C-alpha cells in the first residue's frame, strides 16, 4: 500500500477528534450564526458601557485626543464594573503585560526576565472569577424564571365557544409582563377573568413587582366584586408598591360571560387590544383610565362589547409593536392587523404563532429590547 493511501486512511481518524472538539465548542452553530451571536453580544456590551461615557464632553475634543479620551472613558466604564480587588488585579496584569520585561544581570552574564506570563495568568484568573459569578447568577435567574412560570397558567382554560392561546417571550431571563385567564365568582355569576399586564421596566425589578401584582390580583379576585371595584382595589394596592408611581403597571382586565359572550373590560393605560370582527371591521378596546400605581384615587371607566362567532381578540404588551429591525423601524400595528385579517379560519394558537414568527422575521438578529406577551381569543361558531 502506498504512502498516499496510508495518509488518506489516517485523515478521517485525525479529523474526527477535531470535528468533535469544534462541535463541542461551537454547539454545532455555523460560522455565520456564531458571527451573528458575537455581533449581538458586542452591541449589548457596547450599550452597557456607553451609558457611563460622557458623550457631551467627548464631543468637545478633536482628532487624536478625542479618540484617546474615548478609549479612556470606555476603559474606566469597564474597570468600575469590577470589584475593587479585581480592579487592582486587572491593572497589575496590564502593567505586567506592557512593562513586564526586566533586564537581569548576574555577574558577567545578563538576560531578560519576561513577567508577561504572570499577567496572562492573572487575566485568566479574573476571567474564571467573572465566569463563576455569571454562572451562579444565571442559575439563580433560571430558578426565578421557573418560579415566574408557576405564577401564570401553563395551558388556557376550557371555555365553551372560545379558543384561547397565549405566549410570552422575555427580553431577559425573567420578565415584567403578566397574563392570566381564570374563572371567578361575581355577583352576576361565574365569569372568565382575562388579564394582561406590563410592569414598567425589565428584568429582576419588574419580575418581582409582577409577582406581587399576581398575588394581589388573585387575592382580590376571590371577592364577588364587580370588575370596576376589582380594578380600583388593585390600583390602591399597586400604589403602595410602585415607588411613588415610578414602577407603575399598565393592564387590560376583562370579564367574559361565556353564556352571552358579553365582554366587560377596563384598559388601564395599556395598549388597546384589537378586536377583529368576523365582518373584517377592526375595533380598539381603549376605554379605561391611567396605569395602575400612579394615583390612589384614580377613577376607571368600564365598557362592554359582545363577541360574535368568528371574532378575534388580540391583547398584547408594547414589546410586540415596538420590536425593531436593523434599520430601527418598529414592527407596528399595521403589520399585526394584516396578520389578523389574513388568518380568518385558523386556531388561536396558529394565529398567535403567525404573529410571533412575523416578529422574528422582521427583527432578524436585532436583540429583543422589551418583553413580548400576547393573549388571543377566537370566538367559535
The sign of the dihedral angle between the CA atoms of 320, 325, 329, 335 is negative
Phi and psi angles of residue 185, each rounded to the nearest 5 degrees, phi first: -85, 130
CATH 3.60.40.10 fits 155-379, yes or no: yes
pTM of the model: 0.76
Give the pLDDT score at 137.
82
Distance between CA 21 and CA 15 in Å, rounded? 10
Residue 50, all three cell numbers? 456607553
Locate the domains of the chain by residue range.
Answer: 23-81, 88-150, 155-379
186 contacts 229 by C-beta, under 8 angstroms: no
Q: What is the mean pLDDT of each run of 10 residues along the chain (381 residues)?
A: 48 72 83 79 81 86 87 89 91 88 68 80 91 85 83 90 92 87 89 94 83 92 92 92 82 94 96 92 93 93 94 94 90 91 82 92 86 93 74
The reported pLDDT for the residue numbered 1 is: 47
Residue 381: per-residue pLDDT: 74
DSSP string spanning 172-183?
Answer: SSS-SEEEEEEE
pLDDT at 60: 86
Reported in sequence order, the residue ranges of the chain that DSSP labels E, i.e. its strands, are 101-106, 109-114, 162-169, 177-186, 189-199, 249-257, 262-268, 274-276, 282-284, 288-289, 303-306, 312-316, 372-379
Amino acid at each position: 500500500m502506498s504512502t498516499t493511501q496510508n495518509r488518506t486512511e489516517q485523515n478521517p481518524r485525525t479529523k474526527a477528534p477535531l470535528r468533535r472538539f469544534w462541535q463541542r465548542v461551537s454547539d454545532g452553530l455555523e460560522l455565520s450564526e456564531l458571527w451573528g451571536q458575537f455581533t449581538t453580544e458586542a452591541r449589548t456590551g457596547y450599550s452597557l458601557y456607553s451609558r457611563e461615557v460622557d458623550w457631551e464632553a467627548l464631543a468637545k475634543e478633536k482628532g487624536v485626543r478625542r479618540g484617546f479620551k474615548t478609549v479612556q472613558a470606555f476603559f474606566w466604564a469597564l474597570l468600575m464594573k469590577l470589584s475593587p480587588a479585581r480592579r487592582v488585579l486587572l491593572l497589575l496584569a496590564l502593567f505586567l503585560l506592557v512593562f513586564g520585561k526586566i533586564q537581569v544581570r548576574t555577574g558577567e552574564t545578563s538576560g531578560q526576565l519576561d513577567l508577561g506570563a504572570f499577567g496572562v495568568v492573572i487575566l485568566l484568573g479574573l476571567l474564571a472569577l467573572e465566569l463563576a459569578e455569571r454562572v451562579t447568577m444565571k442559575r439563580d435567574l433560571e430558578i426565578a424564571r421557573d418560579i415566574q412560570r408557576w405564577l401564570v397558567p401553563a395551558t388556557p382554560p376550557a371555555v365553551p365557544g372560545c379558543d384561547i392561546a397565549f405566549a410570552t417571550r422575555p427580553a431577559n431571563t425573567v420578565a415584567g409582563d403578566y397574563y392570566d385567564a381564570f374563572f371567578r365568582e361575581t355577583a352576576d355569576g361565574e365569569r372568565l377573568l382575562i388579564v394582561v399586564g406590563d410592569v414598567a421596566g425589565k428584568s429582576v425589578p419588574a419580575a418581582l413587582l409582577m409577582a406581587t401584582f399576581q398575588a394581589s390580583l388573585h387575592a382580590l379576585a376571590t371577592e364577588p366584586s364587580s370588575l370596576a371595584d376589582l380594578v380600583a382595589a388593585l390600583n390602591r394596592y399597586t400604589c403602595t408598591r410602585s415607588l411613588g408611581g415610578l414602577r407603575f403597571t399598565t393592564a387590560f382586565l376583562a370579564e367574559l360571560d361565556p353564556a352571552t359572550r358579553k365582554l366587560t373590560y377596563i384598559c388601564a393605560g395599556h395598549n388597546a387590544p384589537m378586536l377583529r370582527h368576523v365582518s373584517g371591521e377592526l375595533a380598539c378596546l381603549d376605554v379605561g383610565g391611567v396605569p395602575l400605581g400612579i394615583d390612589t384615587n384614580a377613577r376607571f371607566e368600564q365598557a362592554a362589547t359582545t363577541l360574535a362567532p368568528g371574532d378575534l381578540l388580540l391583547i398584547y404588551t408594547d414589546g410586540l409593536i415596538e420590536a425593531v429591525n436593523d434599520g430601527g423601524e418598529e414592527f407596528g400595528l399595521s403589520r399585526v392587523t394584516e396578520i389578523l385579517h389574513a388568518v380568518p379560519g385558523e386556531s388561536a394558537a396558529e394565529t398567535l404563532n403567525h404573529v410571533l414568527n412575523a416578529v422574528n422575521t422582521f427583527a432578524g438578529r436585532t436583540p429583543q429590547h422589551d418583553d413580548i406577551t400576547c393573549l388571543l381569543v377566537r370566538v367559535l361558531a
